[in-house]
Every structure is written in structure tokens, then in C-alpha cells.
Chain A
Amino acid sequence: MKKKNILLAAALLTSVCSYSSGQAAGRDTISIVGSSTVYPFSTVAAEQFGRGTSFKTPKIESTGTGGGFKLFCSGVGVDSPDISNASRAIKKSEFDTCQTNGVKDIVEVKIGYDGIVLANAKKSAPMQVSRKDIFLALAKNVPDPKGGEKLVANPYKTWKEVNPALPATKIEVLGPPPTSGTRDAFVELAMEAGAKTFSFIHDMEKKDKDKYKATTQMVREDGAYVEAGENDNLIVQKLEANPTAFGIFGFSFLDQNADKIQGSIVENESPNFDNIAAGKYPVSRPLFFYVKKAHVGEIPGIKEFVDEFTSEKAWGNDGYLADKGMIPMSKDERTTLLKDIKELKPMAAPAK
């Protein structure tokens, strides 16, 4: 029995060696990494692509936007991924890393929008907030309630203290950890925008960039904001158990759980499909994927996959991605973008 095992192990080891030498021959599955927000959409497109064509179904890893770019920009060749999903545009620093590692031509594909919602359980009343309220409720340091340009540690315990129009319930918000793209987007779109309504903070952006960043992006750590992990289903469950709590997550989860939770109305716009698609709902962000042009032609099917993703039945108003909760772009925007995408036109270096 032991002998047999040893033989088997030897056979395996040889196969490992021979495989790694034969690995240069290539790979026939598209490899996609990146944002967990884009993952539910990317996977649907990949599955449709796999079933509808003779190509293999692409393999998709949910690594987070930053983690995805790290892998994506590690170089050119079969070992590195072909496509990176992102819930924000590529940063200048990431683009530069790509360039130094030989990933020269990158095709940017904007696919649609995602709304970030502040939701609570259906049992409770829906809330109407402004981004300023969100900032005051969740920032670590806020302008002194007594007035003046002094920043003090966030003193607010209930929503009513933030804004007399809001209910007198304890501030308790469950949200994703700092590694999450959803959190980044929420901080930028809701809190930072809310902070800017204070003119002295707005001016700070030019004078003291670091302080501005700290003021607008630091989330309070005294228990009012609870880091509930990346699992949005878990947050939905917790909201049901705790009617006074709010949760932060992507629109697709609200869409799927409309019978259990409701989105707060932000600046008079409720988070629904039409409002986000029309750009009215303020807390929404574009979603992207990035294609390594050097791999097109080397790995079979990349071009066809991009075509599938950007076809009307996928990203269109009634496409299957919309069924899964992605907010499509306007018809005009799609048409404009499609021209460059068809040509696989490399993007220019981003500004920041």
C-alpha cells in the first residue's frame, strides 16, 4: 500500500514538473480578477459567454478592486490575468505600475452604475437624509455643534441630534470594512460630499490636503459604525433583527431583498432603478473593467467576451445585467463608448 502511494506521488511530481515546463504553451480560459461589486455582473456575462459560444467559461476571482489591479499590473503573460474588474476608475499610481511592468495598452470599459444604499428594515419607517446628515452622523470628527470652524470628536448619539427632522433613534450603521470598494465609494460619494457643504472644509481641500482627507474620510470608531464584514447578506439579516440599525451595501442587494429592507431617501431621491440610471440618486458610482490589450489574440475569446459584455442584451436597459441589479448607462453613453470599445482603443493615462 505504501509502495503504491510512493509510486503515485512520484508520478504526480513528474507530472508537476512536466506541466510547468509545458505551461508556456498557454491557457485557453480567460482569467478575470477584481472588484467584488462587479463580480455578480461579470460572472453572469461570463456564464452567458461560456454557454453561448464554443469558448470556455472565463474564470473570475473576486479579489477587490485594488487587489485586482495588483495582479493585473504584475506583467504580461499567461500567468497574469487578462481582465480586471473595478468599482472605480484606475488610479494614476496603478496605471503607472502597469506601465513599468510592461502592461502598456489597457482598454477601459465602463459597463454601468451601481448605487450605494443606506437601508433599514421594512418594519421601521423609511428615513430621509441628506449627505450632510450622513457625514455628521458617521465622520470621526465633525464641526463643533456650537458653531465655528473647530473640529471636535463626533458627539452625536442619535439621528435627532444630527438633524431635528430625523427620528430619535440611536445611530447604528452596519457597513463594509475599509478594504471594500463599496466603503471607498460610500465615503467619497456620501461623506465627502456631505462634508463639503461646510464651506471651511471645502476650502480646506486646497489649503491642507491631508487634513481635508482625514476630516472627510475618517469614519467614527466609537461603535456607531459597525464593520460588518464583506458579506452583504449578513448585513441584511442583521437589519431584520435590529430595526433601528442601518446598513450600507450595493443596490443589487436592496433589489433582491425589497420585501425585507428599504433604502433611505437621500436628498429627496429614493434609491430605485430609474433614479440611479438617470443620475438623480447622488450616491452612485460607475463600474468598469480593464482589458490587457497584449493578451487579445493570445488568450482565445477576449474580444468576444468584451463583445458579449457590451452587447445590448447584456448591458442594455433590459439586459440580463440589469436583471441582476446593475444600473445601465444611457443609450447615448453606451453608443459613444461602444465605438472605442469595438476598436479596443487603449486608454490615456488617468489624471489622478
Chain B
Amino acid sequence: MDNPANKQTIDRVNKGLSRRYRAERRFRIFGASAILLALSFLVLLFSSIFSTGYKAFQQTFIQIDIFFDPAEFTRENLSTANFPGLIKSSLSVMFPEVTSRGDRKDLYYLISPGASFQLMDVLKENTALIGTTRKIWVPANDDVDMLYKGNIDRTRPESERRINDNQLTWLDKLSAEGRVKKRFNSSFFTSGDSREPELAGIWGATRGSFYTLLITLSLSFPMGVAAAVYLEEFAPKNRWTDIIEVNINNLAAVPSIVYGLLGLAVFINFFGIPRSTPLVGGLVLTMMTLPIIIIASRASLKSVPPSIREAALGIGASKMQMVAHHVLPLALPGMLTGTIIGMAHALGETAPLLMIGMVAFIVDVPHGITDAATVLPVQIFLWSDSPERAFMERTSAAIMVLLAFLFLMNAAAVFLRKRFEIKW
């Protein structure tokens, strides 16, 4: 310290010190504000989705008195019997004052067209009901539902709402009798698509997604891991493997629609796999996720310390034994994480499916990999483009379900990594 040269150095260091700290503080503020900004957008997004979406989990039901006339309904004719007529006649009995043809049409409009199918199911399950009168809750039409959820403003002039004054009067009468209530919308989780919002559900799309991802997972995981192991552990390092590596990295960045076009040309036009099926969808998504899984798996193989490889080889393990007994178990958590992220990617994909006919209106819930099916994000896309207002909240609700699945998958990735990660 006594040395003047030393003193000079220290002075200089001190002078620069505050500048250095300032730079650090600035960087921290930038970083924190970037994260804050991202978070606030996320909150905005989620709150806008949740605030509209949660309503879709409830559905307005109307209770009507139904007399299963034995003259009309017998055990034998249940599939062909006139159930729509049954609802109409029941409503006429409840509202005897409605006589004109136009008014009746308006009255019948209050009840969902799906109600007749519900009655059919009720009667098929319990034929003893024939000849009795029952109070049955049936789903209301989507416009009625919107009215009770406050999405239709009853103070507007009649011409501007989809529920006219007469219908409002009848509904008010029903409400006064306690015949209108909101219940949990179970059909949203159990039925397929429909053009009637109150009947539309995500079960068909969920199953479609499940079958599609099943194919994708069962093809892309073993293939991706095998390819990664071969490239990383066995393949000679030469120009060919370099070219392959560059190509795999490129493939991971190819827009997904390109895989759709490829799938259309190869799987549908050449191999003749039927359009719109989870099978062809799964194959296309396999092509899309394979590079992701291969890259993640290779990175995870690279991170296995070479000392473990040497230890195994030094003891006389063959290369295959070294890989299978030591390297793979250590690399597996990373591979699984990569795979799940790839799967989550595939779950949210619509563009490649457009080309292979999975962006379609499909009512029947698929029961196998060769049934026509659609997937969750496609369902969201289709609903978002539907004119009926009730589809808006269903769109948000479907997004919530998709987000829940994505969240679960990513949580599974974190769990698997924590659970199987081996530390030393």
C-alpha cells in the first residue's frame, strides 16, 4: 500500500467500481422488467381465457314434464319413435296459451335439438318409464344459455337479440317455477363435436389427440433414441455423419406444414393410409418430433461423463453393454424430457394436420387409430371460427383443457427428470 504505484492502481480500480456496479444494476433491472412484462402478458392471456372459458363448464337446463305415451312408445320402436315430437307436445301442454305456428316454433326453439336424443337414451335405459309422467332436465338451446350467462343483453331492442320478447316471457315463467337452472356441463367432456354449442364436447378431439400421440410416441421415442444412440455412440465421425447431423438440425426447424405436405404425398397418396385418421396424423407428427427427440437425446447422451464409458469398457463390457447398462440409464431422464417436450409440441400442432384432413368436422368419437378423428387444437380452431356466440366460451374452455394437458405433460417431464436423475 505504501508503494505509490499500488495506490494509483487502487484508485483507478475504485473509480471504475461504481460504473461496474451501475452496469450490473442496469442489467438486473432490464432482466427483471423483461420477465415482468412476459408475466403480465401471460396473466392477461390466461385471465382472458379463463374469464370466458369457465362459463362453458356450466350449462343451462330446463325442466319439462314429459309423458311417455304408451301409444307412441313401445319397447320395440325406441330407435325410430318421434322424440322431437314428444318434446314439442310436452311444451305445448306446459304452455297451452301458445297457439300460433310461429310462436310454437319460437317456443320449441328454447330446448336444444339434442334433448330428443337425451330422452331416447333415458327411455332405452329404463323402459319402465313408458306410461309415466316424469320431470326431466333437458339442455336449453345455446341462445337461452347465453341469455342466462349474461351474454345476451335483454334490454336491447328485440330485433337485436336472438331471444325475442315472447321467449323471454316464457323463460321468465319457467324461471319463476324453478324450472331453469345451471348445471355442470358434463356433455362438454363426454361428447364429440356438434354444430349445436350446447351439445358440443371435446371428448372426440381428446381421444383423437390421444390416439395420435400414442402413435407418435410409440414410433418416435424408440426410433429417436435408437438413432441418437447410433449416431452418438456407434457411428464413425466422418463427413457423412456430419451431413446427417446438419440435416437433422435443419429438419427440427422446418415449418410443420411441410411435414403435412410430405405426409399427404407419402402416407396418403403412396401408401394409401386413410385420410383424417390418427394413424396418418401420428405418422406425420412422428416425422415432425423425431428430429427434436434425436437432438435432445444426443445432447443427453453427450452429457453422460466419459469416465462412466471408460469404467464400463475398462472392465470388459462390450460397447452395446456399455450403452445399455450405463450410458442409457443416465441419459434416459434427459431423453424423456426431450420426448415429452416433443410430444407437447405435437399435441399443440394443427398446421400439418390440415393437409392430411384432420381439420374436419367429426361428430363420432373415434374408437381406434383408423377412425376419422380430429385433435384438440384443431377443435379449438374450428370452434373459434363458428358463428354461434356460445362457441366462444367453448373455445376458451377447450384452450383451458389443452393448457391443462400441456401443463401435465411438462410437469411429468420435470417429475421424471427429478425422479430418475442420478447424481454423483
Which A residues are within 8 Å of any B CB, using their own CB? 2, 5-6, 8-9, 12, 15-16, 19-20, 23, 27, 29, 31, 36, 39-40, 42-44, 46-48, 50-51, 56-57, 59-62, 78-79, 122, 230-233, 250, 252-253, 255-259, 318, 320, 323-325
Contacts and interface: CB of A to CB of B under 8 A. Distances in A.
Contacts of A51: 117
A232 B159 contact: no
Contact of A2 (B105, B222, B387, B392): B222
A255 B361 contact: no
B105 A256 contact: no
A57 B363 contact: yes
Given A12-B215, A46-B363, A79-B268, 11 more contacts: A2-B225, A16-B273, A19-B273, A29-B372, A48-B113, A51-B117, A57-B364, A59-B360, A250-B387, A257-B387, A259-B161
Contacts of B362: 57, 59-60
Given A44-B195, A50-B364, A259-B161, A9 B219 contact: yes
B292 to A, nearest CB: 17
Contacts of B105: 318
Given A40-B195, A324-B195, A19 B279 contact: yes
Contacts of B385: 36, 230-233
A29 B389 CA distance: 29
Nearest to A23: B272
A233 B384 CA distance: 7
Name which of A2, A39, A59, A255 has the most chain B CB atoms within 10 A of its CB: A59
A43 B195 contact: yes
A66 to B, nearest CB: 15
B265 to A, nearest CB: 13
B382 to A, nearest CB: 8
Interface in B179-230: 194-196, 215, 218-219, 221-223, 225
A324 B357 CA distance: 24
A286 B223 CA distance: 51
B274 A27 contact: yes
Contacts of A20: 271-273
Contacts of B195: 40, 43-44, 47, 324
B156 A259 contact: yes
Interface string B350-378: 00000001011111100001101000000
Given A40-B195, A59-B360, A256-B387, A79 B272 contact: yes
A29 B192 CA distance: 16
Interface in B247-274: 268, 271-274
